[in-house]
Structure 1
Amino acid sequence: MKVCVLDNDVLDPVVAPTYVSYGAMFERLLREAGAEWTIDIFNTTQGHYPDSFADYDAVLLTGSKADSFSQEPWVVELRQRVDSILAAKQKLVGVCFGHQLVGLCMGAKVGRAPQGWGSGRMTYLWHAPEFPQAEGRQELSLLASHQDQVLELPAGARLLASSDFCPVAAYAVDEHVFCVQAHPEFVEAYSDFILNKRRETIGETIYQQGMDSLAYGHDGVQVARMMVAFVEGS
């Protein structure tokens, strides 16, 4: 199988030597989850795209520090590209910014979370225990970092995960869309870096709660297995 990763950010130079890019972080995670795919990574902030999405079995949208509703030219172009992918009903996976951008393209309201920043390890109710590779679970925990959210379930979508903080934490549309707000590709050390980088922005209370939460582990690999099963249709 061939998967196209649309990488929607450039990492801070301090951590780039370790993590390379969000696309690379996803490739590592998907390999750990059992993906034996050809994975091509394109940086959308630099205007890089494949010649044709039709050459791929699925497209994955990474996170970004940008707003999905931004009028920055590269974000506008990305929304246009995602519109075409949705119209073709090609398999599409979105994470954080990608989750929000897909929701926006489907007509849902997206904006600042009224509760403020979501940071560190967060736990969600999982509403689809029968979902491939969900293994009957009823909740999951993931590492998060976001101030925007999908504020309403997109039309025609099924709610997969929710919490009081993030009511639309994951959703799916038939066999062609699977989106998650939090970051299965994050590791604790990267969340630690992000929390420290944004300490002044998010405030001391959220910072301390986020740092304390990192000791409890997360279900990133399990969610990646769901993504692999979704892409492979198994």
Structure 2
Amino acid sequence: MKLTIIETGHVPEQLRGRFRPYPEMFGTMLARHGADLSTQTVPLLDGAPLPDPSQLEAVLITGSPAGVYDNFPWMSPLRDFVRRAHACGTKMVGICFGHQIIADALGGDVRKSEKGWGLGRHVYEVVPDSPHFVPNVKTLAIACSHQDQVIDPPPSAKVILRSEFAPNAGLSYAGGGILSFQPHPEFENDYSTALIELRRGKVSEDVIETAHQSMKTRSESAVLSQAISRFLLS
């Protein structure tokens, strides 16, 4: 299967010498599960046109510093792309901003949360009988970095991952063609820690310290990335 990665954000400039681009992070993440996948990247921020989703096998939309309320020229075409992909049944995965733009395009409410920044490793509840997860997985500790949230999911979406901080952290859509998540299973520990430090001076020291402490919790990103791999290949 060929996975088309829609690159909607870059690694922050201060970190680019140390960390790989997001599409490469996702490629490494999926390769760990032996998934028979090849990838191609659409660098949307560099002006690349969006392909016809009906001609694609599967799509993944990355994270981004953008919000769905921003007025970037690529935002409306991406919403149209999401709607067309959904209509023609192309498999689609969204992570962080990808999770949000899919929900926004399909009728959900996405905005900055009054709860502020989610940073570090958060623990999420896996909703019982959620598709693609192995049985008996009840919670997952995964890295996150976001202010925006899906406040109200689209009518066609079912919550499959949640926390007190992010009640709509994972969504599965009717028809089984879309899976999206707020946290970042593609982030390694050192990158998540670097992102926390990047917020220093922009959020309170209490938030920074709590985020650093949370990174001591063992990552369970592999469980989520395996669910994504299972979804793509199912």
TM-score, with length taken from structure 1: 0.94
Q: Deviations over 1:119-167 (max 9, x none)?
A: 0000111103453243321111110000000001211211101111111
Q: Deviations over 1:21-51 (max 9, x none)?
A: 1111111101112222111011111122454
Change (3 A) 1:95 1:130: closer
Of 68-77 and 104-113, more deviation after overlay is shown by 68-77
Q: Does 1:83 align with 2:83?
A: yes
Q: Does 1:8 align with 2:8?
A: yes
Q: CA deviation at 1:55?
A: 3.4
Q: CA deviation at 1:205?
A: 0.8
Give the CA RMSD over aligned residues: 1.5
CA distance in 2, matches of 1:76, 1:202: 30
Q: Which runs of 4+ in 1 moved over 4 A?
A: none
Alignment match, 1:23: 23
Secondary structure of 1:151's aligned partner: strand
Residues 96 and 181 in structure 2, CA contact (< 8 A), matched pair in contact too: yes
Residues 129 and 137 in structure 1, CA contact (< 8 A), matched pair in contact too: no
1:13-92 paired onto structure 2 within 5 Å: 13-49=13-49, 51-92=51-92
Aligned residues: 233
Q: CA deviation at 1:112?
A: 0.7
Q: Deviations over 1:49-99 (max 9, x none)?
A: 454333321100010001022111122222222122122121110000000
CA distance in 1, matches of 2:139, 2:27: 25
CA distance in 1, matches of 2:72, 2:59: 22
Alignment match, 1:189: 190
Alignment match, 2:165: 165
CA distance in 2, matches of 1:181, 1:207: 19
Q: Could you list the runs of 5+ residues in structure 1 that have no partner in the other structure?
A: none
TM-score, with length taken from structure 2: 0.94
Residues 140 and 221 in structure 2, CA contact (< 8 A), matched pair in contact too: no
CA distance in 1, matches of 2:51, 2:12: 28
AA partner of residue 70 (structure 2): S
Q: Percent identity?
A: 27
